[in-house]
Amino acid sequence: MVCKSWVAAICASFCALLAQSAIAQTTASHGLYGSAGLIDMPTAGVFPDGETSWTLGDLPGSRRGSLNFQILPKLEGTVRYSNVDGLDSDGSSSFDMSFDLKYQLVSEDGWRPAIAIGLRDFLGHGIYAGEYVVASKTLIGGMTVTGGVGWGRLGSYNGFSNPLGLNDRPVARLAGGQFGANQWFRGDAAFFGGFEWDTPFKGLTMKAEYSSDAYVQESAAGGFSPSVPYSFGVEYAPVSGIHIGAYYLNGKNLAFALTFSGNPNDPITNPDAGLGPAPTMIRPPQGDRSVAWAKNEKARDKIMAAVAEALSAEGISVQSAQLRPKVVEIRISNSRSVLHAKAIGRTARILALAMPHSVETFRITMMQGGIAVSTVVVNRSKYEMQVDRPDAGLKSWQSVKITDAKPTLGTDHLWARASSSRFSWSINPSVPITFFNPNAPVTYDLLVNFGVRWQLSPTLAISGNISQHVWGSTDENAVGSEFDKTSKPVLSRLTIDKSFKLGDAVYGRAALGLLDKQYGGLDGEVLWKPVDQNWGLGLQMTYVRKRDPDNYFGFGTFETVTGHGSVYWDTGWNDITAQLDLGRYVAGDWGGTLTVARRFNNGWEVAGYMTRTDASYADFGEGAFDKGVRVSIPLRWTLPFETRSRTSVTFGTDGSKYGRRVGGPGRLYADVRDFSEQRMFETWGAFWQ
């Protein structure tokens, strides 16, 4: 069985080519599964760290949509929704969600090929369930050769007895949402392999593969049935980040794929383009250090008016300041720079230019939502000795002090913004996309959102948001509650919001009103998160009543109390953060949500989440628990100027009423996490930018 001619051919060529020294590391391209692969078969290649891609694959009788993420330099993850004709028990199309993981055991080095091990569809219904060990080697002329052994679906064509001796493989899993660990690497195995040629024609790649997938389920359902195990493909990248693929599958049918990809470390636009920092003049040693100015209120006002105007051009708003003869504290909010360290550095430069020579210490306090979060203490003399020098980054980090900010400034020598009452508005389009509901593979909408905010004081505001559905899934086939199925404007929020600080490291907020499009009530949250600590604790409690879908300000009869205790942890390892929420969900079910995210310093975030509650399997719907992946991309990644706006997309189950929480204002932790000492350390290079 094993010694087929093709195997001998591949083995011979593979071994011969191994004898050549490596000229490049194994790179990767997307297959029809959206992960690193040939056409249907995997390779051992990996994408650049953080690479994120969306692939739409169209095959005879099935369609696949995949979100692929290079989680760590050697670990790749894929979440996929697929629609396969005739696989449901009633003969209709089956929508399925599946997860893949691949780990590159060794990278290519000299004669050694890259070797990887992987699991396909290990957390789904198992339609694509398969496991593999694969090796890939880069050769001269842009050629890469791949060979591997597969189990499960990847061992279904021309298989042989399990080389590990694990011959019994359970036929199927009970239901989706369960690990299929009892199947892994069991049953028959089979060889697969192929070639990939990165042609001299820029962007053009050609592929050929020998598949070990017999398409058993599709064939049984009367769908795609392969004639031969060979497939061929051509892929073209007209521009960076877009790949188009066309394939001739198994000697029978055509298939197509379209991939969009991006990398947080490779922004579309230059992240540093823009205004450079103001030059810093060192105070002359014999300069005037008198302190008389500090007693003169007009002088203080004049200085601060100039500072506020200069910082305004940097997207930094001065909330208040305290100007003492030798110490100045300035409280600022940063609305433009992605990295807060950059805003702090720019503020220090302006202070160095504007403050009288007697001032020796700058205390720069970062505000978020009207709350003072952290204070960076800068010694002016040391600052002057560091600016423009090669070791300024490290020395400035070693000389500044970061502390929890005091809730309020003292009353002496105080300067405050002239007007604390402000009205603002915004109009923004949004495209909420949710992949994989139980009844539909994707829901999408184009909404126009009109938002208003009346800031009554720095910590008290009235906020409202109305959204109008323009186009998308809102029709009789829409998935979701009755609140989603309307063409009328939706009042998705109208609340009075209060934020406050209970102690140096204890934050709080409350919101009263219409919290989201389904619920109204009273929402409160408290967070303990010292800036020098990489973890925090939070508690959120909400009393809600369900709103009347036919009346903007009406309520139904359903009411409940929901709430969660939360632990937040910034691991400091590869930008990985974790969050565990335990508590009671809106439907009265008790349970927890674990969210693990990789959050890059430029704000790009990919988060995987799973929610498990005491709701029964039958009640919960698709899978035994809620799960998915959320990608959040800062617009600065694509735009040629500084902005803190972002856009998000979610891949996940969203159809069950269980495991759901009330919307409304975001978590306090999201507001304060970027001011922690750890995040400041990672981004401090921007202090001088």
Partner 1 sequence: MRPCIAVLLLLGLIGCSSGQGVSPLTKVIFAKVTSVVGIGDDQAPVAAPQRMTRASIKKSGLAMLRAKVGEGTDPQTLVAQTDNGGYVMYASQLRQSLTLRGSLVTATRGIERDLLSTQVFPGDPIAFLTKPADWPKSVRRIYHLPGNTPDGEKVEVRCSFLFGDTGEHTIVEVTYPVVQVLESCQGDGFGFENAHLVDKRTGQLWRTRQWIGFQSAVVLIDVLEPYTP
**Interface residue list for partner 1 (CB under 8 A):** 238-240, 268-282, 312-313, 384-385, 387-394, 396-397, 422-429, 575, 601, 635, 638-641, 643, 645, 647, 681-689
Looking at residue 612, its amino acid is R
23 vs 281, beta carbon nearer partner 1: 281
Give the span between the Cα atoms of 52 and 72, in whole angstroms. Answer: 11
Cβ–Cβ under 8 Å, residues 582 and 592:
yes
Complex with partner 1: residue 272 or 532, whichever CB lies closer = 272
Strands 230-239 and 535-547, bridge-based pairing = unpaired
- d(CA 99, CA 652) in angstroms, rounded, equals 11
CB of 124 to partner 1, least distance (A): 33
Give strand pairing partners of 151. 131, 189
Half-sphere exposure of 492 (CA within 13 A, CB side): 21
199 vs 399, which CB is nearer to partner 1? 399
Q: Which is nearer to partner 1, 92 or 638 (CB)?
A: 638
Least distance CB 342 / partner 1 (angstroms): 10
Task: Return d(Cα 134, Cα 269) in angstroms, integer.
Answer: 36
Tell me the two tokens of residue 591.
């349970």
Cβ at position 452, least distance to partner 1 in Å: 9
Q: How far is the CB of 387 from partner 1 (least distance, A)?
A: 5
Comparing CB distances to partner 1, the nearer of 241 and 524 is 241
Cβ–Cβ contacts within 10 Å for residue 469, how many?
Answer: 19
CB of 677 to partner 1, least distance (A): 12
Pairing of strands 605-613, 371-379: unpaired
Distance, in Å, from the CA atom of 674 to the CA atom of 680, rounded to the nearest integer, reads 7
- Which ranges of 155-296 would DSSP assign to H, the alpha helix? 216-220
Rg (CA), the chain: 29
Closest CB to partner 1 among 428 and 439? 428
- For the bound state, the minimum distance from the C-beta of residue 669 to partner 1, rounded and expressed in Å, comes to 21
Q: What is the spatial distance between Cα 141 and Cα 200, in angstroms, rounded to a whole number?
A: 8
- Smallest separation, CB 243 to partner 1 (Å): 14
**Least distance from C-beta 274 to partner 1, angstroms?**
5
If the CB atoms of residues 253 and 399 are measured against partner 1, the closer one turns out to be: 399
Tell the smallest beta-carbon distance from residue 132 to partner 1 (Å).
31
Residue number with CB closer to partner 1 (174 or 431) = 431
What distance lies between CA 6 and its chain's CA centroid? 43
* The pairing of beta strand 242-249 with beta strand 230-239: antiparallel
The least CB distance from residue 376 to partner 1, in Å, is 13
Q: Which helix H or strand E contains 9, and what residues bound it?
A: helix 5-18
Question: Measured from the CB of residue 210, what is the shortest distance to partner 1 in angstroms?
Answer: 35
Q: Which is nearer to partner 1, 324 or 453 (CB)?
A: 453
Q: Measured between alpha carbons, how far is 379 from 303 in angstroms, rounded to an integer?
A: 19
Q: Which is nearer to partner 1, 453 or 660 (CB)?
A: 453
DSSP symbols for 342-377: HHHHHHHHHHHHHS-TT--EEEEEEEETTEEEEEEE
Query: Least separation, in Å, of the C-beta of 120 and partner 1?
Result: 32
Minimal CA–CA distance to 262: which of 658, 636, 661? 636
Which residue type, as a one-letter code, is found at position 514? L
Q: Given the DSSP bridges, would you call strands 327-334 and 361-368 parallel, antiparallel or unpaired?
A: parallel
The least distance separating partner 1 from the CB of residue 388, rounded to whole angstroms, comes to 4
Q: Which is nearer to partner 1, 240 or 381 (CB)?
A: 240
Q: Is 202 left (phi over 0), alpha (psi -120 to 50) or beta?
A: beta
Write the CA distances from 45 to 25, 146, 262, integer angstroms: 9, 9, 17
Q: Residue 429 CB, nearest distance to partner 1 (Å)?
A: 6
- Give whichever of 76 and 314 is closer to partner 1, judged by the CB atom: 314
Spatial distance between the Cα atoms of 632 and 292, rounded to a whole number of angstroms: 51
Range 259-262 contact pairs with CB under 8 angstroms and sequence separation of 24 or more: 259/30, 259/34, 259/53, 259/54, 259/55, 259/56, 260/53, 260/54, 260/55, 261/30, 261/47, 261/51, 261/52, 261/53, 261/54, 262/51, 262/52, 262/53, 262/633, 262/637
> Which residue lies nearer to partner 1 by CB, 196 or 575?
575
Q: How far apart are CA 241 and CA 259, in angstroms?
A: 8
Cβ proximity to partner 1: between 400 and 527 the closer is 400
φ/ψ of residue 575, rounded to 5: 60, 20
